[in-house]
A and B are shown apart, each in its own frame.
Chain A
Amino acid sequence: EIVLTQSPGTLSLSPGDRATLSCRASQSVSSSYLAWYQQKPGQAPRLLIYGASSRASGIPDRFSGSGSGTDFTLTISRLEPEDFALYYCQQYGSSPTWTFGQGTKVEIK
């Protein structure tokens, strides 16, 4: 089973800052299988990025994804107040199964 490890656990930044979130897989993952989600308190997750770098419908272009193999990154170019939230990476694995990282919280500094 592939384990996804997200870092840092918490990112303290100010509006307008650039946020860089990491997702590391315990084994190589096809880029097609890697997605990112945003979750706000009391809400369901929202799909941001799929295929490691494709933005989902309606997602602002300040969100971008990159990476391959075992290292993937979600970047928010300029943080807006509504971007302070939890972010999860997710991968589609063999069997088939879905697994999530433990999450990164982006909080206001």
Chain B
Amino acid sequence: QVQLQESGPGLVKPSETLSLTCTVSGGSINSGSYYWSWIRQPAGKGLEWTGRINTSGSTNYNPSLKSRVTISVDTSKNQFSLRLSSVTAADTAVYYCARDKSGYSGNDSMDVYYMDVWGKGTTVTVSS
């Protein structure tokens, strides 16, 4: 069964770029028609979708973060990555990667929209 694991620095300085990688195991990132999303959650707060990518490299970003976010995919390594530039303390959060199904499901014989597999999350603190 597919599992996701986030990795990257736990501490980033203000104004620098946050970089995280999500490794997909137990299956190929190319299997099925999925997008691969990043979601973040500041301590004690709710969930905020950051953006997503599919294995063709098509991306969608949260409009509120779009100018600072880049998501990329490396299918040879079964990984996708997040870069967030010019970080501030407001970017301190737990960052999750997730498998994102948005479209036709053969199992359900209909269009479906959900995130069904999540990584455990990684905490990123922005501080000097």
Contact surface of A with B, Cβ cutoff 8 Å: 1, 32-33, 35, 37, 43-47, 50-51, 54, 56-57, 88, 90, 92, 95-103
The answer to whether A47 touches B115, judged by C-beta atoms less than 8 angstroms apart, is yes
Task: State how many angstroms separate the Cβ of B11 from the closest Cβ of chain A.
Answer: 20
Which of these, B47, B62, B111, B119, contacts A32 with CB under 8 Å?
A: B111
The answer to whether A100 touches B102, judged by C-beta atoms less than 8 angstroms apart, is no
The answer to whether B47 touches A92, judged by C-beta atoms less than 8 angstroms apart, is no
A96 and B60 in contact (CB under 8 A), knowing A44-B119, A44-B120, A102-B46? yes
Which B residues lie within 8 Å of A101 (CB)?
A: 46
Flag B99-114 by CB within 8 Å of A: 1 or 0 each.
Answer: 0101000001011111
Flag B47-69 by CB within 8 Å of A: 1 or 0 each.
Answer: 11100100000001011000000
Q: In the assembly, what is the distance between CA of A96 and CA of B62, in Å?
A: 9
Which A residues lie within 8 Å of B110 (CB)?
A: 32, 51
Task: State how many angstroms separate the Cβ of A57 from the closest Cβ of chain B.
Answer: 8
Task: State how many angstroms separate the Cβ of B2 from the closest Cβ of chain A.
Answer: 12
The answer to whether A92 touches B63, judged by C-beta atoms less than 8 angstroms apart, is no
Interface size on B, residues (CB 8 A): 26
The answer to whether A97 touches B46, judged by C-beta atoms less than 8 angstroms apart, is no
Q: In the assembly, what is the distance between CA of A46 and CA of B96, in Å?
A: 12
A95 and B60 in contact (CB under 8 A), knowing A44-B119, A51-B110? yes
The answer to whether B60 touches A88, judged by C-beta atoms less than 8 angstroms apart, is no
Q: In this complex, what residue of A is CB-closest to B116?
A: A47
B70 within 8 A of A: no
Q: In this complex, what residue of B is CB-closest to A46?
A: B118
